[in-house]
Amino acid sequence: MPPKQISRREFLKWMGIGSGAVLLNGCTPNFLTASSLSPTALPAAGSPDVEVALEAIPGEVQILPGQATRVWQYRAEVLRGPADAVRALPNSYLGPIFNLQRGQTVRVHFSNRLSEKSIVHWHGLHVPVEADGHPRLAIEPGETYVYDFTVVDRAGTYWFHPHPHGRTGPQVYQGLAGLFLVHDSEENSLGLPSGEYDLPIVIQDRIFDGDNQLVYGGQGMMDQMLGFLGNRILVNGQPDFTLPVAGRAYRLRLLNGSNSRIYKLAWADGTPLTVIATDGGLLEQPLWKDYLTLAPAQRADLWVDFSGRELGEQIQLVNLPSAAPGGDGVFPILSAVVDRLEDVPAALPDRLSALNGYEEADAVNRRSPRVFTLEMGRMMSWTINGRTFEMLETAEDEVVRLGDLEVWQFTNQAGGGMGMMGGMTLPHPMHIHGLQFRVLERQIVPELREVWETLSGGFVDSGWHDTVLVMPGESVRVLLKFEDFTGLYMYHCHNLEHEDMGMMRNFRVEA
Ligand SMILES: [Cu+2]
């Protein structure tokens, strides 16, 4: 069964959630901060370890039988450094994949060969504001933007995608997304599956028309409210994705690269999923899940052992039904087929990483958190503390101090907002730029616990994250620290249609 597009019935179901709850008008004055913006950083002195030319261009690729599909693509070329610093995602228009070592310095020359503005955001990486891809930095067609940064993050599966205001959804949808893999010595010492046994799995949903062209909803009111939902699953840009595997252990790096679809992933035969990493790299120790909830922009690395399988055996990864929009029904994500047996012992380490959390966490968590309320506002737009995106603005409660450790609480207000759409509540995957955070705790209102429980068993809250799913009626507290860089960063919903509608705000780190 193919995944469902949103039905009117389902739309009304989500609209009805929490209706009758208290109306809340959280509008407060905003303060202009344009004068505090720093100019584009000059390239760092000296030669970087890795220098890459990256361009976004229109292209045509064979996705379905018959007519080729028009897409937008990133293409990269290594100008300096190891040749494998960038590689293509095999047989895919997505990608490329950056392959870097922690500590390396990087320069990327991004050239916009599209017909509209764009800019690249390095999702999950701790980089200076000039390298963060804020929409104010979007460049015109024909222009080039130079990024300079040092890879300071832990080994992990990061990614990159466009971030121009109002056009992120359509640009990602047309094919602009790639992976940014970081490696380090801690990870190397574990002997995890590597090379051809370490595979990216980018999951997206799409709609094709009769001429094999991509159809982006995202324009109609229902699409914007709910987010785009496709009726066809692509993995690494390919439909009906089949992965030939050897009978041995693999590392699968899952990225939910969909605009808005939330997945509830499980092996069809009921084998538990072995999760070894989240957005910000390895967990302290592996954990086992009956199913995994993966919201847009989230990553999870799976350790998969095919060694007990028979030659020719097919193992299917499926999406299970949940209360997420478009989430009713079971549908396949990919099939792994054992096409050769290898006598390689599968050794999964008990202990993966020293996580180095913040020791002060408990004390900080006892203080009042900085609260961000998510709700449908007036004018039928999704808001954060009653506000929508303004390019250069930060409000009083969006200014933080360099070096501070804080608790942020995202509260998904059930039934908040005003006007005819006032009763609508949806899940929001909240993303904070420029850092990784820890998830401290979750609270769900009793009347929405049943909805919550269709996905909550699949949350992986340990480890480091840059995106956290906040369900209707839920409050999630995260611990974050503002280190190294000052300036204007952003936090927003990573449902790309919500983001494009303005469910996005700046926060400013001040010295
Ligand atoms: Cu949202």
Residue 500 Cα to ligand 1 middle (Å) = 10
Residue 362 Cα to ligand 1 middle (Å) = 29
Query: Number of folded domains in the chain?
Result: 3
Residue 211 and residue 159 in one domain: no
User: pLDDT at position 11, please?
Assistant: 46
Report the distance separating Cα 168 and Cα 177, nearest Å.
11
Q: What is the torsional sign of CA 140, 169, 294, 407?
A: positive
Give yes or no for a contact between 270 and 184, defined as CB atoms under 8 angstroms apart: no
Residue 210 Cα to ligand 1 middle (Å) = 30
Kindly state whether residue 331 falls inside one of the protein's structural domains.
Answer: yes
The sheet carrying 156-162 orders its strands as: 86-87, 97-101, 178-183, 156-162, 120-123
Report the distance separating Cα 284 and Cα 463, nearest Å.
7
Residue 374 Cα to ligand 1 middle (Å) = 8
User: pLDDT at position 346, please?
Assistant: 75
Q: What is the torsional sign of CA 203, 207, 212, 216?
A: negative
Q: What is the mean pLDDT of each run of 10 residues along the chain (511 residues)?
A: 52 42 26 30 69 98 97 97 94 93 98 98 98 98 98 98 97 98 96 96 97 84 86 97 96 98 97 98 97 98 95 97 93 97 87 79 80 88 95 97 96 65 79 97 95 97 97 96 97 97 97 95
DSSP 22: P
Residue 26 and residue 67 in one domain: no
DSSP 260: S
**CA distances from residue 119 to 109, 266, 472 in whole angstroms, order as listed:** 11, 35, 31
Residue 505 Cα to ligand 1 middle (Å) = 12
Type and span of the H or E element at 333: strand 331-341
267: β partners: 317
Q: What DSSP letter does each residue of 131-151 carry, written as one string?
A: GTT-GGG-B-TT-EEEEEEE-
Residue 326 and residue 464 in one domain: no
Q: What DSSP letter does each residue of 370-410 carry, written as one string?
A: EEEEEEE-GGG-EEETTB---TTEE-GGGEEETT-EEEEEE
Residue 162 Cα to ligand 1 middle (Å) = 18
Percentages of the chain per state (helix, strand, coil), in multiples of 5: 15, 40, 45
Residue 176 and residue 153 in one domain: yes
Residue 115 Cα to ligand 1 middle (Å) = 27
Kindly state whether residue 152 falls inside one of the protein's structural domains.
Answer: yes
Residue 360 and residue 431 in one domain: yes
User: pLDDT at position 425, please?
Assistant: 86
Report the distance separating Cα 265 and Cα 296, nearest Å.
13
Kindly state whether residue 419 falls inside one of the protein's structural domains.
Answer: yes
Hey, what's the torsion of the CAs at 427, 431, 437, 440, to 10 degrees?
Answer: -20
Kindly state whether residue 335 falls inside one of the protein's structural domains.
Answer: yes
- Give residue-wise pLDDT tens across range 327-368: 988 999 999 999 999 878 778 999 999 876 666 777 777 778
Residue 49 Cα to ligand 1 middle (Å) = 38
Residue 294 Cα to ligand 1 middle (Å) = 14
**CA distances from residue 183 to 156, 186, 329 in whole angstroms, order as listed:** 7, 9, 38
Residue 428 Cα to ligand 1 middle (Å) = 4
Residue 409 Cα to ligand 1 middle (Å) = 15
Kindly state whether residue 347 falls inside one of the protein's structural domains.
Answer: no
Tell how many helices (H) and how many strands (E) occur in the chain.
7, 33
- Evaluate the omega torsion of the peptide bond into residue 96 and state whether it is cis, within 30 degrees of 0: yes
Neighbouring residues of 284: CB distance < 8 A, sequence distance ≥ 6: 351, 352, 353, 354, 355, 462, 463
Q: Residue 120, Cα to own-chain centre: how many angstroms?
A: 14
Tokens 């968590």 belong to residue: 365
Residue 226 Cα to ligand 1 middle (Å) = 8
Kindly state whether residue 502 falls inside one of the protein's structural domains.
Answer: yes
Q: Residue 432, Cα to own-chain centre: how many angstroms?
A: 10
Q: Residue 366, Cα to own-chain centre: how many angstroms?
A: 29
Type and span of the H or E element at 266: strand 263-267
The model's pTM: 0.91
Kindly state whether residue 3 falls inside one of the protein's structural domains.
Answer: no
Residue 360 and residue 335 in one domain: no
Residue 47 Cα to ligand 1 middle (Å) = 41
Residue 136 Cα to ligand 1 middle (Å) = 21
Give yes or no for a contact between 72 and 120, defined as CB atoms under 8 angstroms apart: no
Q: Is 131 left (phi over 0), alpha (psi -120 to 50) or beta?
A: alpha
Residue 498 Cα to ligand 1 middle (Å) = 5
Last residue of one domain, picked from the residues 162, 186, 210: 186
Residue 91 Cα to ligand 1 middle (Å) = 32
- Residue numbers of the domain that contains 177: 40-186
Residue 68 and residue 90 in one domain: yes
Residue 493 Cα to ligand 1 middle (Å) = 4
User: pLDDT at position 46, please?
Assistant: 77
Q: How does strand 393-394 pair with strand 31-32? A: antiparallel
Report the distance separating Cα 497 and Cα 260, nearest Å.
7
Residue 232 and residue 165 in one domain: no
Tokens 């999950």 belong to residue: 124
Residue 329 and residue 372 in one domain: no
User: pLDDT at position 24, please?
Assistant: 25
Give yes or no for a contact between 465 and 480, defined as CB atoms under 8 angstroms apart: no
Residue 376 Cα to ligand 1 middle (Å) = 10
CA 324, 296, 182: angle at the middle one, nearest 5?
Answer: 150
Kindly state whether residue 1 falls inside one of the protein's structural domains.
Answer: no
Q: DSSP 3-state assignment of 81?
A: coil
Buried b (16+ CB within 10 A) or exposed e, 42-58: eeeeeebbbbbbbbbee
Q: What is the torsional sign of CA 352, 354, 357, 359?
A: positive
Residue 422 Cα to ligand 1 middle (Å) = 15
Q: CB count, 10 Å around CB of 484?
A: 15
Residue 439 Cα to ligand 1 middle (Å) = 18
- Give residue-wise pLDDT tens across range 242-286: 999 999 999 999 999 999 999 999 999 999 999 999 999 999 999
Residue 457 Cα to ligand 1 middle (Å) = 21
Q: DSSP 3-state assignment of 77?
A: strand
Tokens 């000296």 belong to residue: 46
Last residue of one domain, picked from the residues 153, 186, 219: 186
**For the domain that residue 227 is a member of, what is the CATH number?**
2.60.40.420
Residue 244 Cα to ligand 1 middle (Å) = 36
Residue 177 and residue 199 in one domain: no
Residue 349 Cα to ligand 1 middle (Å) = 37
Residue 70 and residue 167 in one domain: yes
DSSP 447: G
Task: Give the residue among 315, 225, 337, 215 at the shortest CA–CA distance from 265.
Answer: 315
Last residue of one domain, picked from the residues 341, 369, 387: 341
Residue 44 and residue 29 in one domain: no
Residue 124 Cα to ligand 1 middle (Å) = 18
Q: CB count, 10 Å around CB of 78?
A: 17
